[in-house]
Structure 1
């Protein structure tokens, strides 16, 4: 059995009304990075700290809150409990998924999916919450979903906020094998149509299922997504490269997938770039080999590398994870 529950000690203290639990891993392995069932992790850096905002991996009716985790070095993590829950979002009842967070001006915007709607007749979709600190507390920004229906066949889930090099903010999202991109307005209350009048433009590449993510490296736009079924061992991550956030995106290949010596179902990821360095980490979830429950998912981090042509090299998923990397010393 490859999965080892980390040995931890707990330190409780108050912050923003939320208890915090500092977890120190006494195992030689750093994956998973913190204990508990968590999936769909978004990794980001705020104020010389690493942050991860994941989905609480549980039955849909129990997915009614988000925890967040912060670290000075990618090894020691502090848990910020219930930075947002459905008591603050009256229209969200269940299945709050895949948080995406971005800082704009002096506010932190947390976007999320809720209610797992299956048609335009059901109420739910993609919401926006806002706070003055990354650990919250967050409040509902709109009092209703930002996107409450289906466009181009895309289920309104798995949202990712992308800031382009020209400071334009985009929302990239979609399940059910369709992905849309839309231009956010200045206060994240709606969208600015493209020049042709279209608001939601489809950019779906080959084999896309869900979990979009985008970043820029050396002037190129890397678009990444998850393939396969999230409950099965074939879950994986693939990517494409284009000259614009609008594509077109031609699939290059998979770079993250299961390793039957380590774990299955490796997918729904994000990417962290170390400021000022060409150093990259991939943050993702996977299922331990001895687990069969679909919600038994853990959050892990491994390094991500490129070849001389700028292509992403296949990621080796590991139990060891990554070494301590304090931002203040970089």
Structure 2
């Protein structure tokens, strides 16, 4: 659901004044024909899905949680209200949806300052569970006396939309758990990010609460849902006596570790019955990647590492997931910083569908801008070369962010995630139908932009809005769309820079620039959504793309999205007749990044494989 950054925007008439009038006659081949504005089909939904209040103004929020209650999904976030690079989170907010397409703002459910033991600005991660017609909000916040650090609390309501009333003291104090592995994390915030799980096994009901940063802890809840169970009956709830269990994850790649953001989950059949292994989703390493582990026993000492789900997002240093089943599908809810002026301290919620293979392994999930309802397009120049950004993995180093100037070019070849774009309303004026902004499909929050030297790259719209209501980069990330200057190109489109009126997007020799008087063919492009029955493509995805030196490369976890020349889409998995894999370029004995080649029915594609050093 694409939303405005601010309600203060210039009027459409003011924004267009500098561009009004006929296009110069050279653009029409000297014929004197007037080239007119063109309105493209835009993708106005997709990711992010939240990020707004009841009046449609921007409301940043991260650390999502989700609750399925009957025919409704409720989403919860901690409200990000920071103007800098620190967490300022005054409250928890709620949204709802009945179809995973349309989202309703339900409002604030609890202020941090109304928690008797907490400070006023640390409404960190939470989860709501329903139990016997009551709703329990498990959350973490800073203990206000500074005697303790972050603690886990609980609040209760008769409604999933609140208001919630917090208990008078934490359910887990910072002092209840030992601080282990001080080199990874910091004392004072190891007791955060609670997740709850309730189920009946062999006629016995169990209620679990798990949480942690650096270390993962689990305990059982009493039936009152607001206190920890004394498992051994000694009258004291403690880590030492086994009432709180520290769990580890075996098999993670060397040097990687459990960071935070646990979420407990188990698959459901068509009748809503749980089956199979338990899943522990969590944030791994820094910057945070999404990973998972499995176990046959939720109380086990160890979980088995399952694999990487998502690399660090392109716009946020942290990530936090919720995983739910709703109407026969499994959804992965997470956050990034893809809104204007977004970051790891001003986040927004996104949703994508999660897929399992036949053995219960989770397929790798590429963060994307279209989510469940958006539309991705390709943009090709008049010679058929695709506009694409350079191939790269989002870095785990903070120093690489924000991404402000990623190379963009045009090149012939098969469609890949790097050459897919979401065409959206223009950032400089959302009310002008002839304005568009173009977001990277697989690097959400990163946009095509015109640089000062008139080259074209892509970057994050990360800077704060100025007094006129625009972010610093709004205009250079906006293009005016015109009927293509090259009349021989069917359904062609020419893009004029809003930041530099009279300069047009131009492709020459693989380079993308804006020029003042380009050749008509060089500044005319076709868009997949505008062109019928002539697009064929194959996108290759793989669940496990990261290995260590000496590992065996798996090729049984491929998933292909194949589009034929008639726009028919086919999903193909490993083992399909006619699917061939060429791993000759992948050296599993040496650290590096390699391309695994895949062919199917005359089409070819690649997927990147990372091999890490074991040292």
Cα displacement (A) at 1:90:
2.0
Over 3 Å counting, the alpha-carbon distance change for 1:171 and 1:188 in structure 2 is: same
Over 3 Å counting, the alpha-carbon distance change for 1:74 and 1:289 in structure 2 is: closer
Among candidates 172, 183, 194, match of residue 147 of structure 1: 172
Q: How does 1:28-107 map onto structure 2 within 5 Å?
A: 28-35=44-51, 36-59=59-82, 62-93=88-119, 94-107=121-134
Could you tell me whether the CA contact under 8 Å between 2:80 and 2:345 is conserved in 1?
Answer: yes
Deviations 1:77-114 (A, max 9, x none): 11122211134312211311111100010110001111
Matching residue of 1:182: 219
Cα displacement (A) at 1:127:
0.9
Among candidates 142, 150, 159, match of residue 133 of structure 1: 159
Q: How does 1:1-330 map onto structure 2 within 5 Å?
A: 5-6=2-3, 27-35=43-51, 36-59=59-82, 62-93=88-119, 94-115=121-142, 121-122=147-148, 125-140=151-166, 142-150=167-175, 151-153=177-179, 155-166=190-201, 167-175=205-213, 177-195=214-232, 197-205=241-249, 206=252, 207-217=257-267, 218-229=275-286, 234-247=287-300, 248-258=302-312, 263=315, 265=317, 267-275=319-327, 277=328, 279-288=329-338, 293-323=343-373
Deviations 1:132-178 (A, max 9, x none): 000111112x3111112230327221001111343311000011x10
Could you tell me whether the CA contact under 8 Å between 1:159 and 1:172 is conserved in 2?
Answer: yes
User: More displaced, 237-246 or 83-92?
Assistant: 83-92
- Structure 2 alignment gaps of length 5 or more: 8-41, 52-58, 180-188, 234-240, 268-274, 375-615
Q: TM-score, normalising length from structure 1? A: 0.81
Structure 2 distance, partners of 1:97, 1:63, is 7
Could you tell me whether the CA contact under 8 Å between 2:80 and 2:87 is conserved in 1?
Answer: no
Q: TM-score, normalising length from structure 2? A: 0.45
Could you tell me whether the CA contact under 8 Å between 2:317 and 2:344 is conserved in 1?
Answer: no
Cα displacement (A) at 1:285:
0.5
Could you tell me whether the CA contact under 8 Å between 1:182 and 1:193 is conserved in 2?
Answer: no
Structure 2 distance, partners of 1:144, 1:319, is 41
Over 3 Å counting, the alpha-carbon distance change for 1:116 and 1:27 in structure 2 is: farther
Higher RCO, 1 or 2 (CA under 8 Å, sep at least 6)? Answer: 1
Cα displacement (A) at 1:116:
6.8
User: More displaced, 178-187 or 157-166?
Assistant: 157-166
Structure 1 distance, partners of 2:372, 2:361, is 21
Over 3 Å counting, the alpha-carbon distance change for 1:273 and 1:178 in structure 2 is: same
Structure 2 distance, partners of 1:265, 1:171, is 26
Cα displacement (A) at 1:264:
5.2
Could you tell me whether the CA contact under 8 Å between 1:266 and 1:287 is conserved in 2?
Answer: no
Q: Secondary structure at the match of 2:320?
A: strand
Q: Name the Cα RMSD after superposition.
A: 2.8
Over 3 Å counting, the alpha-carbon distance change for 1:290 and 1:76 in structure 2 is: closer
Structure 2 distance, partners of 1:117, 1:314, is 40
Could you tell me whether the CA contact under 8 Å between 1:236 and 1:265 is conserved in 2?
Answer: no
Could you tell me whether the CA contact under 8 Å between 2:81 and 2:90 is conserved in 1?
Answer: no
Q: Secondary structure at the match of 1:203?
A: strand
Runs of 4+, deviation exceeding 6 Å: 116-119
Deviations 1:181-240 (A, max 9, x none): 0000000232123459411100132510100011112321111110233xxxx3211111
Over 3 Å counting, the alpha-carbon distance change for 1:299 and 1:194 in structure 2 is: same
Structure 2 distance, partners of 1:38, 1:289, is 11
Q: How many residues align?
A: 294
Bigger Cα Rg:
2
Over 3 Å counting, the alpha-carbon distance change for 1:290 and 1:48 in structure 2 is: closer
Could you tell me whether the CA contact under 8 Å between 1:124 and 1:145 is conserved in 2?
Answer: no
Deviations 1:30-85 (A, max 9, x none): 10001232111011211311111111123467412111001111121111222111
